[in-house]
Every structure is written in C-alpha cells, then in structure tokens.
Amino acid sequence: MGEEEESLEKQIGDALRSKKYRISVAESCTGGLISHRITNIPGSSDYFDRGVVVYSNTSKIQLLGVPKLILESFGAVSRETAKAMAEGVKNISNSDFCLASTGIAGPGGETPTKPVGLVYIGLASNKPTMVREFRFEGKRQEIKAQAASEALKMVLEALS
C-alpha cells in the first residue's frame, strides 16, 4: 500500500472524527478489504462502527435485508443490489456513511453482460444513495484493491 492510499484512509478518519460521524461497510467482492483499510488507522474505533462481508445472496438477504426480488431480477452484481446493500447496512448500523461493494473480481464468474472487473459501489448517507459503476482491469487482488480505493474516494468526496 502506497503513501497516497494510506493518506486517503487518514484523511477519511480525520474528517469523520472531526465531524463526529461514523462509518459502516457491507462488502461482497472486496471481502473485507475496505474495512481492513479503514481500521489500519490508529484510533479508527472513534468512527468505524462495523463491517460485514456478505458474499452469498443468502447473507445479503439475512444480514442486510436485501430484497430477494432485487437479487433475482438484477443479480448480485448490479446497481440495484449495491444500493440495497448500502441502505441495508445503514439500517442496521445507523452510521452516517455506509459503503457497499459488489462485483466480479475474477478470474471466473463473468457473464456476457457482466465481465470480470465490473464493480458497483454504493454509498448511503443523509443524501440520496449514490451508486457508481466501475470497470477495473487486472488480476483478482488488483480489482479488489482498485474497488476499495474507489469506495474510499467516494467517502472522502462525500465528506468534502
């Protein structure tokens, strides 16, 4: 992890702490990497509430309340699922900012319409939930790292 990425987590932590905000994360394709990066900063317990890894559809439904119909209609890797995940973790945590990641890190799992590297990041806050679509390239770890970085950038942008 480079200094730029470390400073990203520190900037987020400083901003959250100064505003007395809390953050929670629901992760699928990033497998806990976003939470890991946030909690690498000493004192992150001041603002980090929780992180859940919801890899299966069942866990998305049971832990976050993602409607089964959304998963059946749009799939786990979709804008709609990322939105439902972010809002779901907001409902169970009552944090000010709630991130969600869902995507295909590869090397398999792609479909004709959903290639490896397709990732959706959701951010729920006191504003309408925002979801961004990304198309990353690289190996599994690279896709996960890029997704985690973009998710953190979304939080920093929302805090600005």
Place of tokens 């944090």: 95
Place of tokens 């976003």: 34
Q: Are strands 118-124 and 97-103 parallel, antiparallel or unpaired?
A: antiparallel
Tokens of 145: 């790292």
Rounded to whole angstroms, the Cα distance separating 131 from 108 reads: 24
Q: What is the pLDDT of residues 86-106, one digit of tens each?
A: 999 999 998 999 999 999 999
Residue 7: which pLDDT band, with cuts at 50, 70 and 90? confident
Rounded to whole angstroms, the Cα distance separating 125 from 86 reads: 9
φ, ψ for residue 100, nearest 5 deg: -145, 145
Q: What is the pLDDT of residues 11-25, one digit of tens each?
A: 999 999 999 999 999
Tokens of 5: 């990425």
Residue 3: which pLDDT band, with cuts at 50, 70 and 90? low
Domains of the chain: 3-159 (3.90.950.20)
Nearest one of 35, 16, 12, 37 to 25, comparing CA atoms: 35
Instruction: Give the global pTM.
Output: 0.95
